[in-house]
Amino acid sequence: MSIYAISDLHLSFGSDKPMDIFRGWDNYEEKIKANWTRLVTENDMVIIPGDISWALKLEDTLADFKFIDSLPGKKIILKGNHDLWWSTMNKLNIFFAENKIESIKAVFNSAIVVEDKAICGTRGWDYASSGESEQKVRNREAGRLEASIKAAIDTGKEPLVFLHFPPVYADFVCDELMEIIKKYDIKTIYHGHIHGAGCHNAVGEYDGVKFKLLSCDCVDFTPQFIC
């Protein structure tokens, strides 16, 4: 089995939010499908760390998840800042079961074992925002990251950590997340969220931790080989 990852699919089959209004996103669904089917086999795993669907309600994500489900391999999803449809894990699992979506599982305060690895992580939050409410979100996400990493460690497998927001971007550092990352000696973080010209400001390494950007338009709409 090979593990791949790609972030920020921004699908909108069930909503009126096309991404092809942005430069470089023309025919992006076809590009994703072509590259995915070229690389990924039914025995492989693909991690999607957030911004999966533009839908606002879970029921409106059906066409988007059917598209993902139809692609080769198993998939693990994590929440992004635009995944406003994301509800509880119980509701998500019921939705998948009722609609016979069998190849997708979610990580949320948890970890999923994939052979000798344990997939874990969380959404994270904005590195540059300020204010009491924003601080509460960062603290909560740090707690969720720690809970997920602990769940991965408890499996006895090597944690592979995915975030939607990068903990470091340009000159900004999310100290709350970096503290957890350093505490558990995580050497590589995989993330999305960054698009367009912002890809040039993505940080490759900070304080001994490597960061791998997975956003669709930054990786030419191609799942990236992880291990």
The pLDDT tens digits of the residues spanning 177-206 come to 999 999 999 999 999 999 998 888 899 999
CATH number for the domain running over 3-225: 3.60.21.10
Describe the strand order of the beta sheet including 104-106 as a list of residue ranges.
104-106, 74-78, 45-49, 3-5, 224-225
Average pLDDT over residues 104-122: 98
Percent of the chain with pLDDT over 90: 88
Q: What is the pLDDT of residues 133-178, one digit of tens each?
A: 889 999 999 999 999 999 999 999 999 999 999 999 988 999 999 9
Q: Is residue 175 a contact partner of residue 206, using CB atoms and an 8 Å limit?
A: no
Q: Is 81 exposed, middle or buried (0-12, 13-18, 19+ CB in 10 A)?
A: middle
Which residues have CB under 8 Å from 65's CB, separation 6+?
A: 53, 96, 99, 101, 104
pLDDT at 195: 93
pLDDT at 127: 75
Q: Is 221 exposed, middle or buried (0-12, 13-18, 19+ CB in 10 A)?
A: buried
pLDDT at 129: 76
pLDDT at 131: 83
pLDDT at 22: 82
In this predicted model, which residue has the larger pLDDT, 19 or 121? 121
* Sign of the alpha-carbon torsion through 32, 222, 10, 80: positive
Q: How does the average pLDDT of the chain come out, rounded?
A: 95
Task: State the pTM of this model.
Answer: 0.96
Q: pLDDT band at 130, cuts 50/70/90?
A: confident
In this predicted model, which residue has the larger pLDDT, 6 or 20? 6
φ, ψ (nearest 5 deg) of residue 57: -120, 150
Is 80 exceeded by the pLDDT of residue 20? no
Average pLDDT over residues 77-104: 97
In this predicted model, which residue has the larger pLDDT, 94 or 129? 94
pLDDT at 75: 98
- To 10 degrees, what angle do helices 132-154 and 175-183 make? 20
